[in-house]
Amino acid sequence: MFKDKVVIVTGASSGIGAETALAFAKEGANLVITYKDNKTGAEEIASKIIEAGGGAVIVQADLTIDSDAKNVIERAKQEFGKIDVLVNNAGRYIDGDEWNGDCEIWTQSLLQNLVSVMSVSRYAIEIFQQQKSGVIVSISSRYSTDGQYDALAYAAAKAGVANITQAYAKLLAPFGRANAVSPGAVNTGYWLRAPKEELEKNLANIPSGKLVEPGEVAEKVLFLASDESLDINGQNIFINNNNIIK
| 154 classed as catalytic | yes
**Cα 221 → chain centroid:** 9
Looking at the DSSP assignment, which residues form a beta bridge with residue 186?
212
Q: Taken in order 138, 139, 142, 147, is the CA torsion positive or negative?
A: negative
Tell which phi-psi region holds residue 89, choosing left (phi > 0), alpha (psi between -120 and 50) or beta: alpha
Catalytic residue among 123, 154, 168, 190: 154
Torsions phi, psi for 59 (to 5 deg): -130, 120
The Cα–Cα gap between 153 and 171 comes to: 26
In terms of Cα–Cα distance, which of 209, 222, 211, 216 is closest to 85? Answer: 222
Sheet containing 56-60: give its strands across: 56-60, 30-35, 6-9, 85-88, 135-139, 177-183, 236-239
Give CB contacts under 8 A, 24+ apart, made by 64-71.
64/111, 64/112, 64/115, 64/116, 64/119, 66/119, 69/116, 69/119, 69/120, 69/122, 69/123, 70/119, 70/123
Q: Which residues are catalytic?
A: 154
